[in-house]
């Protein structure tokens, strides 16, 4: 059973157990969150870069020099 804040009796030192357990439970979701955030930002940057590339090529093709 996980120790939840407020369940531990006062003065028993159970807060240390709570801290240790909460840290271990918090590490894996944090790692997944960091990986997901990096992945999302890389995808967004790649999409923006591709749109800029297409825009530059379209402007270069559609804007012939005016004589």
Are the C-beta atoms of 2 and 21 separated by less than 8 Å? Answer: yes
Q: Is pTM, for the whole model, over 0.95?
A: no
What gap in Å lies between CA 58 and CA 28, rounded to an integer? 45
Mean pLDDT confidence for 10-32 = 62
Is residue 25 within 8 Å of 5, Cβ to Cβ? no
Q: Give the pLDDT confidence of 24-59 residue by residue, as tens digits.
A: 566 677 888 899 999 999 999 999 999 999 888 876
DSSP 13-67: SHHHHHHHHHHHHHHHHHHHHHHHHHHHHHHHHHHHHHHHHHHHHHHHHH-PPP-
């Amino acid at each position: 059973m996980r120790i939840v804040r407020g369940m531990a009796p006062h003065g028993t030192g159970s807060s240390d157990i709570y801290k240790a357990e909460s840290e271990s439970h918090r590490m894996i979701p944090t790692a997944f969150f960091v990986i997901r955030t990096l992945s999302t930002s890389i995808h967004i940057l790649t999409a923006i870069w591709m749109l800029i590339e297409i825009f530059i090529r379209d402007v270069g093709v559609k804007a012939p020099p005016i004589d």
